[in-house]
Chain A
Amino acid sequence: MTVLINEKAASISLTGITRSYGAVRAVDGLDLEIASGELISLLGPSGCGKTTALRIIAGLEQTDSGTVVVGGKDITRTPANKRDMSMVFQSYSLFPHLSAADNVAFGLRLRGVKPAVRRRRAIELLELVSLDHHADRYPSELSGGQQQRVALARALAVEPKVLLLDEPLSALDAKVRIQLRDEIRTLQRRLGITTVFVTHDQEEALSMSDRIAVMSNGRLEQCGSPAEIYSRPATPFVAEFIGSMNHVPGIADGATVTVSGSRLPLSVPGSGAVTVLIRPEAVRLTDDPNGNTTITTISFRGPVTRVIGRLDDGTPITADLPSVQAASFAEGGRVHVTYAEEPVLTKAAD
């Protein structure tokens, strides 16, 4: 196969990007550095500004202030069609009057590539997404997942400096979604193309990205590797948005917090009554008739078993344990809860 490593891949640098719609600041002073060849996810709830940010990179929206620099060149005012990027949309973006191959060849046609050459290229790209046997089908004859594959091939055909993905998986069935997610990641690695991926699905972001930029209310909350984001969230927002969290009351004094009788280090110093955020897998249970917790429910989830209990002060607590460990517990039994000795985040007490 001749379609390979993208030599045009470029770095992106966003500085002070701000975009308002009326009184609403969709993006508010966003700074972000994206390395060449990296896959970065913009993750956040709907309305957090991630899509607007992506569209500003694409040139489909204008930024009110700030600059977009790609490959060392300021393209803040460059129109979308001169940016040498390409985009995959959530759904229905294939041109319905063109076959799969003609859709893929569209960008090449704009660049004046001869019909025979662009047809060959299109077939190569369709091979890349395992759809060469459907080259002459029309979009209405393809499934949702196949359509998104063609859209991906179309975006890659023009060998863009940057690939932009706007929730390309969210309209698909769960099974197809996971399959295509892995394919996109594999392809992106192989081509080494700088990719910005917008999603509201944390699992998608965690499994695909080199780095994740978590956004909320138009601002960047935290940017880091999936492991960093998950295990060392910088803010309570990130902590709660990624994975699930227990909310346990505690008393903070400077660098530590006392929670259910244990002392834990604080990521951010504080004092007084607070709510401590603790991941279910950081909860430790030991069999103890004089413990501080009663188990209410045990649900088996394959390799992990989820144990839900109630602390003596009434706080519900969830623990995810390896199933082998959980076998010794029973619903209604008494246990003692402690926590893994890791820095924790706190919120104002409820």
Chain B
Amino acid sequence: MTRRKVFGGVFLALVGLYFLLPLAAAIEFSLRDVGDTHSLEVWKTLFQQDGFVTNLLTSLKLALGTVALTLLIMVPTVTLIHLRMPQFRRTMEAICVLPLAIPAVVLANGVFVAFQGAPPWLNGTPVILCLEYVVLSLPFTYRALDAGLSAIPVVALVEASRTLGGGWATALLRVVVPNLRTAILNVSILAAALALGEFTLASLLLMDTLPVWTVSAGQSNGAVATAASMLILIVSWVLLLVMSVLSRRRSRTPRRSR
């Protein structure tokens, strides 16, 4: 028994080392200065790098746009399915997991061909990225909203609101949305993290975003690129951590009461 415990501990430590080394190394690399010294020099100059701020802003706007559009389309749709057409839940789920079966690079190729003749505001700007990121995030968006709606008596809530004289819009905004807070937060965080770090579509559709800029900066200055990629990483990890802590806290309460 104890020998097995020791064995398991050593094994976990080795696996942990594999996961920690690249992170530690990336941080060390971004702190390197001339000779064998370390400093914050690279991080300080990061914001003065040519194109960094522009691309950072583009990526942030993309993230915001993706979150907004995802919520706008998905919250009413999934609510409607739960309220009035529960028989379509399976179909809806099937549609929403489709992007998992289509590699991003293939989607990029399809988008490139399909929208060749589209107006330039769509095809020539990151708007198209935003629209496609909504598609890429469908699988987890649907799962999170579906779980959130399954956990509340949505039909009763909406009927109560309607009998009290509220319209459909009131029911959605004042009753459904507040009860879906956690699910909506999860969806927002996942969509934002995806939009911040996505490289494949952006690069192949020749858009300038932070990850694309980072890779091209890497050709000339490894330390800067490493610092930029750590920044992307830290931001998205903080977002995901917040989500996992919040959803754990929420899921624990009902488990105890059972």
A contacts B: CB pair < 8 Å = no
Chain B: residues with CB nearer than 8 A to chain A?
none
